[in-house]
């Protein structure tokens, strides 16, 4: 590799020497996994109090606490199952993160854009959009587009030019992403 590769997320630069970049990629794309069962005891605390009071005071309070407790149990069971049995998209991202090959591609086009309404956390700011090309394991050249906020590239710093190398995680022609 003759030129230093452009990284859409500069935090990867210190992680490329180990598999830590794979964990960062998965965390950024999937978010931290929620552990709803850890909150279960706290959500059941009102149930325990109501059961104790209801048992001592009134059968209706006891019945209400039992219904609330059952609803909380059902809610947490559904949340735990949703996390346990991840959707196909999450499985594909995890597959890409931990089993994808890290290859060098090239920038085709790079522009600054105003963040759209589909990015509420970036409202009113600018993003850098990179169109890249890479050769798939099948030998076919494929392209992809990624966008992110890069404060250091927003106004005055030059954007990378076409042909600048980029690092791409790739499984096949349909599953790939730039770092």
Please tell me whether residues 104 and 137 are part of one structural domain. yes
Local structure of residue 6 (DSSP, 8 states): B
Residue-number span of the structural domain to which 58 is assigned: 36-86
Give 66's Cβ-side CA count (13 Å radius): 8
Instruction: Show the tokens assigned to 163.
Output: 């042909």
Please tell me whether residues 26 and 106 are part of one structural domain. yes
Give 106's Cβ-side CA count (13 Å radius): 10
φ/ψ region of 51 (left if φ > 0, alpha if ψ in -120 to 50, else beta) reads alpha
Q: Is the pLDDT of residue 50 over 80?
A: no
Total domains, the chain? 2
Q: How far apart (Å, rounded) are the C-alpha atoms in residues 174 and 100?
A: 12
Specify the pTM.
0.63
Q: What is residue 115's predicted lDDT score, i.e. its pLDDT?
A: 65
Please write the tens of the pLDDT for every residue from 116-125: 665 555 555 6
Nearest residue to 61 via CA among 72, 47, 74, 44: 47
């Amino acid at each position: 590799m003759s030129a230093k590769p452009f990284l859409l997320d500069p935090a990867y630069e210190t992680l490329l020497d180990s598999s830590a970049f794979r964990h960062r990629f998965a965390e950024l794309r999937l978010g931290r996994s929620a552990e709803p069962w850890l909150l279960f005891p706290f959500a059941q605390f009102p149930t325990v109090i109501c059961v104790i009071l209801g048992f001592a005071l009134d059968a209706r309070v006891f019945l209400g606490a039992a219904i609330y407790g059952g609803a909380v149990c059902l809610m947490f069971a559904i949340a735990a199952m949703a996390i346990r049995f991840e959707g196909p998209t999450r499985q594909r991202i995890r597959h890409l993160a931990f089993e994808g090959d890290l290859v060098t591609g090239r920038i085709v086009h790079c522009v600054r854009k105003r963040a759209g309404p589909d990015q509420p956390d970036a409202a009113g700011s600018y993003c850098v959009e990179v169109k890249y090309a890479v050769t798939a394991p099948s030998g076919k050249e494929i392209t992809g587009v990624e966008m992110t906020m890069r404060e250091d590239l927003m106004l005055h710093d030059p954007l990378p030019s076409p042909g600048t190398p980029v690092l791409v995680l790739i499984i096949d022609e349909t599953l790939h992403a730039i770092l």
